Amino acid sequence: MEMIQIVGLGLIAAILSLMMKEQKPIFAFLIAAFAGITIFLFLIGKIGTVLETLEELAAASGVQNVYLKTILKIIGIAYIAEFGAQIVRDAGQDSIASKIELAGKVLIIVLAVPIIGIIIETVVKLLPA
């Protein structure tokens, strides 16, 4: 049922923005952005339950919380960067969209820096000085 709602919302937004594109392109962009944000917010509630289950599973299997947190942050960054980039790309600003993607990539790599640091430290300790 929810899927039908989302698809309906998307179809209506697409038709509206097509109609608007002739007269006012800026409103067409606004409609597209609004539809995207609405669907995104709609999904946040659903994601919450999934994340709770994942956290419970992680606690049960004895995985450190840090790993799960890192992984979830990666997904979050990837999705938000993708979403923003697509909206901007719809508006015809490809260069800004690629900057947003770059920012997402950099932030993902930043999450990896502490892990890399610890691994390298361990390797250095393992090797005889």
Footprint on this chain of another protein (rule: CB under 8 A): 54, 57-58, 61-71, 73-75, 78-79, 81-83, 101, 104-105, 108-119, 121-122, 125-126
Q: Which is nearer to another protein, 19 or 40 (CB)?
A: 40
Alpha helices in 62-93 (DSSP H): 65-90
Confirm if 70 and 58 have CB atoms less than 8 A apart.
no
Q: Which is nearer to another protein, 72 or 91 (CB)?
A: 72
Q: Which is nearer to another protein, 11 or 109 (CB)?
A: 109
Residue that has been written with the tokens 């250095």 in this structure: 124
**Least distance (Å) between residue 126 CB and another protein:** 7
Confirm if 25 and 17 have CB atoms less than 8 A apart.
no
What are the phi and psi torsion angles at 24 (to 5°)?
-125, 100
Q: Name, in order, each residue with C-beta under 8 angstroms of 29's C-beta and a sequence gap of 6 or more.
A: 17, 90, 91
**Least distance (Å) between residue 92 CB and another protein:** 19
Q: Which is nearer to another protein, 30 or 71 (CB)?
A: 71
